[in-house]
Amino acid sequence: MLQGKIINTMSNTADAIAVDQSRCLRMRFNKSTCSECIKHCRFDAVRIDECIDIKRDACSECMLCVSVCPSGCFDAKATDFYSLISRLKKAVNSVSSPVLGCNERVDLKAHERTVCFGFLSEDHIIALSVFMEGRLQINLTGCADCRNGFIVDTLKKRIGNIAKNTSLNVFEKICLVEDGSELYYQDISYDRRGFFKAIKNLTFLHASEFFENDEVMAPQSYSAKKIPIKRDLLNRVISYKKGDNTALLENYYYTVDINEDCNNCFACIGMCPTGALKIETAGDGRELSFNTSLCIGCGLCEGFCINNAISIEKGFRGHNPFEFA
Amino acid sequence: MPKYGMVIDLQKCVGCGACALACKTENNTQDRAKGQTFNWADFIYKAEGKFPNVKFTAMPVLCNHCTDAACVKACPVTPKAMHKHENGMTIHNMERCIGCRQCQRACPYSSEDVDKSKAAYSVISFNDFSDEVHPFYRDKKEVVAGCTASGAEIAQKAGDIPPHRTLYKHSDYASVRVAGKVEKCMFCEHRVLNGEQPYCVASCPAGARIFGDLNDPNSEVSKALKAHKAVQLANNKGELLKPGEKGTQPNVYYIRGFKVTAKKA
Ligand code: SF4
Ligand code: SF4
Ligand code: SF4
C-alpha cells in the first residue's frame, strides 16, 4: 500500500494546459466563429483575441477545453494518453477491472491516475472501450466535493452519445463509479523487482514530463499539418477494430464535397489545418484530393473558399477512409 | 518612427537590371517558374510605336509597401502573417503563413499566375505546396550533358542551396523560403535594421534608387519628392494612380519620367 502511494505521488506532476495557438481555428482564419473552448469554460478563463490565453488563476483545470477543441489547440501536459492506455491494458493482467483515478484526489483508490476526466472526449472514451480488454472503472467518488464536479454530467452525456451513435458496448466497458461502495478495487502487489522497475519507469516518465512542462511551448508553424489526438485515436480504433465501422464513420468522420465551381486555386490546402486536402496530379492536370481520416470537419475550407466550391458533410461513403481520393 | 519609402529616378535608371540581380543574390530567390516570378525586384518593359518612332520604357518595380496594404487586409491568420511594421514596411512572417494566397489575390500589383494573366510582374510569388524551392540546385542533370556540372553538384560543393546563399537573420523571415508559403520584397529590413541600404539601392550603378524616411523632411527621399513631381503605380499593368487617387497608398514613387522623340530630319 505504501509502495503504491509513493508511486502515485511521484506521478502527480504540476498540472497545466499547453496551448498551441497555431492549431486554433480562429487564429488560422479570421472569419471562423468557433468558440467551443470559451463556451465550455465555466470560469471565463479562456481569452481569444490577438492570441489565445488561459488565465491560470481562473482556470480550474477541468480540461473541458482540451476535449472540446476540434483541432487540438490545447494539451493536458501531464497526460500521455497513449501510454495511459497501455498501462491500463497492462493492469488488466493483474486485476480484473482496473480503476482510473485523478491527480486531484490521490487519497482515492486507483491503479492509474490522470488529469481531470474532463479531458476524455467521446473519441477518447471510444478508444478506451475498444482497446481495453476488461472493464475500466473511472473513480468519480471524489467528484461530488470537487470544484470540477460538473464534468461527471459531461462524461455521462458523452457516453450516452457513444451508445446512441455506435454499437459499441460502452456502458459495459466504461463504468462510471460515483458511489464508493460500488468501487471494486483489487491491489496490485508489487514484488521487489516489480517495485523497482515501476519506480524506474516512473522516474523516467517524470523526468520527461518535467522537461516538457519546463519547455516554453514553442508555437508550431501555422503551416504545419497536424491531426489532433482525438482524430488519431479514432483512426487507430477503426484500423484495429475488425468488422463494421459504419456507425463510427457515419457519426465521427467527414467528407468534403467539391463542386464544379472549383477552379483549382488550391488555396484551401493552405487553410486546412490537418493536411486532409492535397494536390493530386491527374493526367497532365492537377486536382484537389481529400482524405477522410485526416479531416476533423472544422469547416475552415468551406468558410474560406471564395468560389463556394467546397462543403463538408458528416459521414464517409467511399472505400478506404485512409486514402486520398 | 521612420516611415520608409523609395523614390526611383527614371532618368537615372538605365534599365540595366543590376537591382534585380542584386536582389536575387541577396534574398536567394529562385528562378521564375509556373507563373510565379520570384523576382522581388522586377521591371515593366514597354516598347511602343513603330520604328523610327519608338518608345522604350524600363520601369523598376517592387513591393510598394503600401500604407493601406491590401495584402495585409486579406491575410486571414492571427496575428497576420502579412503585416505592417511601425517603420512602414510590409513584412511577411514565414512562421504564420499558411499559403492560402489571399494576399496575392488582393494585392493590385500581384497576380496568381503572371503567364495566364499576362501581367508584367507580380510583387507576391507563391511557393507551391508540392514543389521544393530552388529545383535547379536539386536537379542532378548536367546543365550541358557530358560537359558541365549539374545544379545539385554545385550546390553540394558549395554546401548550400542556393550555392551563393546570403545568410541573414530576421525575426519574421528566413533567408530562403520553403514550400507552401508566399514571398515578396521586404525592403531588406534585415539590412535596414543594421543601418544599411536595401541591396537593390546599394547596387544600382546609376544611383537611380533612393531609399529613406518619408517622415523626415531632410531625408534624400523627401528632398527628391519635393524637388520633382512624383507618380505612383496603380497596378501591375503599368497604369499610374491619377491625381487625387489614393489606391493602396503605395510608398514607392517614380520621378522624372521622360519621353524620347525622334528628331525630325
Ligand atoms: S478538409 Fe476542410 S473541414 Fe476537413 S480538416 Fe481540412 S479545412 Fe477542416
Ligand atoms: S504592393 Fe502589394 S504586397 Fe506590397 S504592400 Fe502593397 S498590397 Fe502589399
Ligand atoms: S499566403 Fe500567407 S501571407 Fe498571404 S494571405 Fe495567406 S497566410 Fe497571409
- Would you call B130 and A29 a contact, using CB atoms and an 8 Å cutoff? no
What residues pair up with B213 in beta bridges, in sequence order? B4
**Using CB atoms and an 8 Å cut-off, which of residues 149-188 of chain B contact chain A?**
180-181
Q: Which residues does a 6 A CB cutoff place in the pocket of ligand 2?
A: B 63-66, 69-71, 90, 107, 109-110, 123-124, 184, 248
CATH architecture of the domain with residue range A14-74: 2-Layer Sandwich (3.30)
Could you report the predicted ipTM of this complex, rounded to two decimals?
0.87
Give the H/E segment covering residue A53.
strand A52-54
Of B42, B65, B87, the residue with max ligand 2 atoms within 8 A of its CB, to mutate for a pocket test, comes to: B65
- Would you call A221 and B78 a contact, using CB atoms and an 8 Å cutoff? no
Give the H/E segment covering residue A286.
strand A285-290
Domains A14-74 and A242-314 share a fold: yes
**Using CB atoms and an 8 Å cut-off, which of residues 27-66 of chain B contact chain A?**
none
List for chain B the helix, strand, coil content (%; round to 5).
20, 20, 60
pLDDT band at A73 (very low <50, low <70, confident <90, very high): very high
Neighbours of B161 (CB within 10 A): 20
Shortest CA gap B81–chain A (Å): 10
Measured torsion, CA atoms of residues A190, A196, A200, A206, in degrees rounded to the nearest 10? 60
Mutate to test the interface with B, among A222, A304, A324 (most CBs of B within 10 A): A222
Q: How far apart are the first and last CA of chain A?
A: 55
- Euclidean distance between CA atoms B104 and B124, whole angstroms: 6
Å from CA of B246 to ligand 3 middle: 24
Looking at the domain A242-314, which fold is it? Alpha-Beta Plaits (3.30.70)
Instruction: List pLDDT tens digits, range A261-285.
Output: 999 889 999 999 999 999 998 888 8
- Give yes or no for residue A301 CB within 6 A of ligand 1: yes
Instruction: List pLDDT tens digits, range A6-46.
Output: 333 333 223 579 999 999 999 999 999 999 999 999 999 99
B132 reaches A (C-beta below 8 A): no
Shortest CA gap B167–chain A (Å): 21
The residue count for chain B = 265
Q: Nearest residue of B to residue A268 by CA position? A: B100
The residue count for chain A = 325
Q: A46-50, A187-191, B247-251 — which one is most confidently predicted on average?
A: B247-251
Per-residue confidence of chain B (265 residues) as pLDDT tens digits?
899 999 999 999 999 999 999 999 999 999 999 999 999 999 999 888 888 888 888 899 999 999 999 999 999 999 999 999 999 999 999 999 999 999 999 999 999 999 999 999 999 999 999 889 999 999 999 999 989 999 999 999 999 999 999 999 999 999 999 999 999 999 999 999 999 999 999 999 999 999 999 999 999 999 999 999 999 999 999 899 999 999 999 999 999 987 766 666 6
Residue spans of the domains in chain A: they are: 14-74, 81-210, 242-314
CATH classification of B4-255 is 3.30.450.40, yes or no? no
* Ligand 3 atom closest to Cα of residue B100: 6
Contact by Cβ (8 Å): A126, A73: no
B129 reaches A (C-beta below 8 A): yes
| Angle at CA of residue A116, ends A79 and A95, nearest 5° | 75
User: Which pLDDT score, from 0 to 100, does residue A89 have?
Assistant: 87
User: Which pLDDT score, from 0 to 100, does residue B264 have?
Assistant: 66
- Would you call A26 and B129 a contact, using CB atoms and an 8 Å cutoff? no
Q: Nearest residue of B to residue A272 by CA position? A: B98
What is the Cα A17 distance to its own chain's centre? 13
Write phi, then psi, for B92 (nearest 5 degrees).
-105, 125
Please give the mean pLDDT across all residues of chain A: 85
User: Which pLDDT score, from 0 to 100, does residue A178 have?
Assistant: 92
